[in-house]
Structure 1
Amino acid sequence: MRKYYNLHTSGRVADIQVYGDITSSKWADSDVTSYDLVNELAGLDVDEVNAYINSYGGEVAEGLAIYHALKRHPARVNTYCDGFACSIASVIFMAGDARVMGDASLLMIHNASTVAAGTSAELSKAAEDLETISNQVRQAYLNAGVALSEDELQAMLDAETWLTPVQALELGFATAIAKEPQSQRPTQSARRSIFDRITADPERAEEPKTEDTHTEEPKENRLLNFLAGAMKAQ
Structure 2
Amino acid sequence: MFKSCEGSPPSELAPESRNIVIPSILHPSIHQADGPPRQQAHNTQPITATMTINLLPRLSARCALKTISKTTCAAAPLTTTPTRSFFSAPPYPPTNRDMPSHPPRAAMPMPFVTETVGGGWHTYDIFSRLLKERIICLNGEVDETISASIVAQLLFLEADAPQKPISLYINSPGGMVTAGLAIYDTMTYIRSPVSTICMGQAASMGSLLLCGGAEGQRYTLPHSRIMIHQVSGGYQGQASDIAIHAKEILRVREQLNEIYLRHLTKKHTMEEIQKYMERDYFMSAKEALEFGIVDKILERREQVGEGR
State the alpha-carbon separation in 1 of the partners of residues 245 and 156 from structure 2. Answer: 37
Partner of 1:121: 240
Residue 50 (1) aligns with residue 50 (2)? no
1:92-126 deviations in Å (ceiling 9; x for gaps): 11221111011000111111111211233332222
Q: Answer yes or no: is 1:41 the counterpart of 2:159.
A: no
Name the residue aligned to 2:263: 144
| Cα distance in 2 between the residues matched to 1:103 and 1:135 | 30
Match of 2:228 among 84, 88, 109: 109
In terms of Rg, which structure is larger?
1
| 1:205 corresponding residue in structure 2 | none
In structure 1, the partner of 2:305 is: none
**4+ runs of 1 displaced by more than 4 Å?**
none
Q: Specify the code of the residue in structure 2 equivalent to 1:42.
A: L
Alignment-mate amino acid for residue 39 of structure 1: A
More helix by share: 1
Spell out the pairing of 1:45-84 with structure 2 (5 A cutoff).
45-46=160-161, 47-84=164-201
Counterpart of 2:118 in structure 1 is: none
SS in 1 for 2:277: helix
Q: Report the residue type matching 1:21 in the other structure.
A: E
Unaligned segments of structure 1, at least 5 residues: 27-31, 182-234
Contact 1:103 1:180 (C-alpha < 8 Å) held by counterparts = no
Cα distance between partner residues in 2 of 1:6 and 1:35? 15
User: What TM-score do the two structures reach when normalised by structure 1?
Assistant: 0.67
Equivalences for 1:216-227 in 2 at 5 Å?
A: none
Displacement of 1:40 in angstroms is 2.0
Does the 8 A contact of 2:136 with 2:150 survive in 1?
Answer: no
Listed as ranges, the matches of 1:194-209 within 5 Å are none
Of 149, 165, 181, which residue of structure 1 is paired with 2:285? 165
| Partner residue in 2 for 1:90 | 207
Structure 1 distance, partners of 2:240, 2:166, is 45
Deviation at 1:173, TM superposition (A): 0.8
User: Percent identity at matched positions?
Assistant: 26
Task: Please list every run of 5 or more consecutive structure 2 residues that lacks an aligned counterpart in the other structure.
Answer: 1-108, 111-123, 302-308
Q: Is the 8 A contact 1:99 1:176 kept in 2?
A: yes
Measured after TM superposition, the shift of residue 21 of structure 1 is 1.1
CA distance in 2, matches of 1:128, 1:73: 31
Size of the alignment, in residue pairs?
Answer: 172
In the alignment, is the contact (CA less than 8 A) between 2:136 and 2:153 conserved in 1? no
| Alpha carbons of structure 1 residues 116 and 146: separation in structure 2 relative to 1, 3 Å | farther
Whether contact under 8 Å (1:68, 1:95) holds in the other structure is no
Partner of 1:220: none
Distance in 2, matches of 1:145 and 1:158, equals 17
TM-aligned CA deviation for residue 65 of structure 1: 0.6
Offset of residue 69 of structure 1: 0.9
> Aligned-residue CA RMSD in angstroms?
2.4
